[in-house]
Amino acid sequence: MKIYLFLISLSLNGYHYRIFMTKPSEISQLLEYLKYQKELIIVEHNGKIQNNLNIKYQYLRQNDKIEIITIVGGG
């Protein structure tokens, strides 16, 4: 059984990463892996603000630029 690996370079919050994956992954899977709460963040993907429905079906691609903004509340 062969296992194929994908190497993707991407920018996340201004830092450059190289990620090995065994299959194409969605942005939502990356957020789950990084333990972000979807209700408390805003995601910018390649210069466009995305909502939860769009994130779920957007796959990570080579040289993507992702910015994650966390919403903080207080009193």
pLDDT mean over 1-25: 90
Q: What pLDDT is attached to residue 17?
A: 94
Residues 6, 53: Cα–Cα separation, whole Å: 25
Distance of CA 13 to the CA centre of its chain: 10
Whether residue 55 is predicted with pLDDT greater than 70 in this model: the reply is yes
Query: Is pLDDT above 90 for 6?
Result: no
- Alpha-carbon dihedral 43, 47, 53, 59, rounded to 10 degrees: -100
In the chain, domain spans: 26-75
The CATH T-level fold of domain 26-75 is Ubiquitin-like (UB roll) (3.10.20)
* pLDDT number for residue 54: 75
| pLDDT over 90 (residue 15) | yes
| pTM confidence score | 0.82
pLDDT of residue 71: 82
